[in-house]
Structure 1
Amino acid sequence: MERRDFITGLGGAAALMAAAPAMGQTADHAHMQGHDQMGAAHDHPPQFSALKASSARCVSTGNDCLRHCFGMLAMNDTSMVACMRSVHDLVQSCAALESLAAVNSPHTRVLAKAVGEICSACAVECAKFPAIADCRSCQEACLACAAECKKVAA
């Protein structure tokens, strides 16, 4: 390949790359126009708003509870190990449930049943530490999420 051919090829590739975003915008614009013309008949409203919110609250309060448990472990206090394991399961499962609920996944109801059981088990563990605000908050969130899970899974 000669230098002139290489430079010509490179220039052509650069022109294509420069044009690609403009072509994408045209396609996106046409898609949005079609979406606007279809109107509300094709809207996709959330089906699981309350479940999404309650599972998000469990993730948040569960992480606060985990922080406390890790702090206790750092002080060589293992009295909250069972709580920590339970809260870990809670945070992970509720994060997955929140994600499925957010996109109206058809698997939301199936997962909600299992997560409801995890929430209930976590609430029992958190109840063992009523003097700790993070545990009380997590327990309240667990009970609320378990109730939402029960509604959805039914």
Structure 2
Amino acid sequence: MPDYPTSATQNQTILDALNRCVAACEYCATACLGEEHVQHMAACIRLDRDCADICALVARLVARGSEHARHLIKECMEVCTKCATECAKHNHPHCQQCAAACRACAEACREFAG
């Protein structure tokens, strides 16, 4: 049995935050590719992609009640925090929205992990 919250409400809260973060990161990475000085957005794009991937993986693990979710949630918090920090450096609306989604996801992961 997993040693983290398993109620439908608790799981839905973390799943919603993870999925919002995936969507924000994917959108941000795509929008960054269209920026005039795309080379200045390389770190943002890389982190967006990493963050989207780990959030998607953690969402699948949480949804199935995997015993491996807990330690990956900690990594997810770290990647979300780094992505939020990088995106916040840029004044593009997509970057600011992504930073907010990443911060919210990191906080939801913290609460879920206890």
TM-score of the pair, normalised by structure 1: 0.65
In the TM superposition, structure 1's runs of 4+ consecutive aligned residues that sit over 4 Å from their partners are none
For CA contacts below 8 A with separation 6 or more, give which structure has more relative contact order.
2
Aligned to 2:41: 80
Matches within 5 A, 1:118-129: 118-129=79-90
For residues 76 and 136 of structure 1, do their structure 2 counterparts lie closer, same or farther at Cα, with a shift above 3 Å needed?
A: closer
Percent identity among equivalent residues?
35
2:96 pairs with 1:96: no
Q: CA offset at residue 76 of structure 1? A: 5.6
Aligned to 1:67: 30
User: Do the aligned partners of 1:119 and 1:142 also contact (CA within 8 Å) in 2?
Assistant: yes
> Counterpart of 2:24 in structure 1: which amino acid?
T
User: Do the aligned partners of 1:49 and 1:101 also contact (CA within 8 Å) in 2?
Assistant: no
Aligned to 2:18: 55
Q: CA offset at residue 45 of structure 1? A: 5.0
2:94 pairs with 1:134: yes
Measure, in 2, the Cα distance between the counterparts of 1:152 and 1:108: 10
> Counterpart of 1:67 in structure 2: which amino acid?
T
Aligned to 1:32: none
TM-score of the pair, normalised by structure 2: 0.86
Per-residue CA deviations over 1:41-80 (Å, capped at 9, x if unaligned) read: xxx85352211110000110111101112223xx563111
Point out where structure 1 has 5 or more consecutive residues left out of the alignment: 1-43
Computed over aligned residues only, the root mean square deviation of the Cα atoms, in angstroms, reads 1.7
> Counterpart of 2:12 in structure 1: which amino acid?
S
Matches within 5 A, 1:30-49: 46=8, 48-49=11-12
Task: Say which SS state the counterpart of residue 120 (structure 1) adopts.
Answer: helix
